[in-house]
């Protein structure tokens, strides 16, 4: 297995600074955050908030070679382009797929619809299958793979529900990002069973931890935790990944409240020990 960082956890650094830091620390790859920027009140921002360590969706094709060169100079593989695009945003997905090909990046992330109970799951599922069929076509035409992430709050919060979607498609061009930290919030299933079920669709792993705690009103809620302190037993998860033959990336996405560079260093040391 190899180690990378999803740059969502490095908002204070520019892409140049990010690549340099990851290279010096000994990471193997980088998972770039990709989002479209816009101006608001005279400041540059995005829907999910401003993050300097982001590739702008609007110019991703034009800057693909520049991004690739940046990674190459720092000895990093671009292991994934992590967008916030829904599976129905085909025009932008096509741009990202083409950019992935130009960067030599095998994967790009797209999102399944959210589930809040206002629209029947079966309707959302049917719409998703139709949309992912087009995403599969786009990925195939560009020689890359689209990944859907297991995520709380959407229609695939578990390995089982993720498999129900992706099993309709070619695993060479549609796969899954396995995220145990998200599954603490919603969707936990036995780690190894879920990995075995996903099989060839298991293409990428996000590494973070979460824990359940009571808030000031005494209500239980899940929140980010340090990698070695949350509910996810990463020793067990990595052991299970080895058992099913996974040899891809473990990509850090640690949202616990700590100094970024210290957190990166400690997390990498911890993962290497495991």
Question: pLDDT-based confidence at 37, cuts 50/70/90?
Answer: confident
Split into its structural domains, the chain has a count of: 1
Residue range of the domain that includes 155: 2-273
Q: What is the pTM of this model?
A: 0.95
User: What CATH number should be reported for the domain holding residue 159?
Assistant: 3.20.20.150
pLDDT at 211: 97
Check residue 168 and give left, alpha or beta (phi > 0: left; psi -120 to 50: alpha).
Answer: alpha
CA-CA-CA-CA torsion for 210, 214, 217, 219, nearest 10 degrees? Answer: 80
Burial of 129 (0-12, 13-18, 19+ CB in 10 A): middle
Question: pLDDT-based confidence at 50, cuts 50/70/90?
Answer: confident
Instruction: Average the pLDDT over 180-190 and give the result.
Output: 98
Question: pLDDT-based confidence at 160, cuts 50/70/90?
Answer: very high
Instruction: Average the pLDDT over 64-73 and give the result.
Output: 98
pLDDT, averaged across the chain = 96
Residue pLDDT, tens place only, 79-136? 999 999 999 999 999 999 999 999 999 999 999 999 999 999 999 999 999 999 999 9
Whether the pLDDT of residue 39 is over 70: the answer is no
Chain length of the chain: 274
pLDDT at 112: 98
Q: Both tokens of residue 45?
A: 């921002």
Instruction: Average the pLDDT over 25-45 and give the result.
Output: 83
Q: Where are the beta strands (DSSP E) in 122-258?
A: 145-149, 174-178, 202-207, 209-214, 220-225, 249-252
Rounded Cα gap, residues 203 and 194, in angstroms: 13
Whether the pLDDT of residue 47 is over 80: the answer is no
């Amino acid at each position: 297995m190899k180690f990378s960082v999803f740059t969502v956890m490095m908002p204070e650094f520019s892409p140049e600074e990010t690549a340099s830091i990851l290279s010096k620390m000994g990471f193997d790859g980088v998972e770039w955050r990709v989002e479209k920027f816009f101006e608001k009140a005279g400041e540059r921002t995005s829907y999910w908030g401003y993050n300097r360590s982001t590739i702008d969706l609007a110019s991703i094709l034009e800057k693909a070679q520049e991004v690739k060169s940046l990674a190459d100079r720092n000895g990093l593989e671009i292991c994934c382009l992590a967008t916030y695009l829904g599976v129905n945003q085909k025009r932008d997905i096509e741009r990202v797929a083409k950019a992935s090909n130009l960067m030599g990046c095998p994967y790009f992330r797209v999102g399944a619809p959210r589930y809040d109970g206002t629209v029947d799951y079966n309707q959302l599922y049917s719409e998703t299958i139709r949309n992912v069929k087009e995403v599969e076509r786009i990925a195939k035409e560009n020689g890359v793979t689209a990944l859907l992430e297991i995520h709380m709050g959407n229609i695939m919060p578990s390995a089982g529900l993720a498999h129900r979607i992706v099993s309709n498609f070619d695993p060479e061009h549609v796969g899954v990002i396995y995220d145990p930290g998200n599954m603490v919030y919603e969707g936990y299933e036995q780690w190894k069973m879920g990995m075995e079920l996903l099989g060839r669709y298991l293409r990428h792993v996000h590494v973070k931890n979460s824990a359940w705690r009571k808030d000031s009103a005494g209500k239980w809620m899940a929140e980010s935790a340090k990698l070695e302190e949350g509910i996810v037993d990463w020793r067990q998860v990595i052991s299970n990944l080895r058992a099913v033959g996974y040899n891809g990336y473990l990509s850090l996405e640690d949202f616990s409240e700590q100094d970024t560079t210290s957190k990166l260093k400690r997390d990498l040391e911890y993962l290497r020990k495991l």
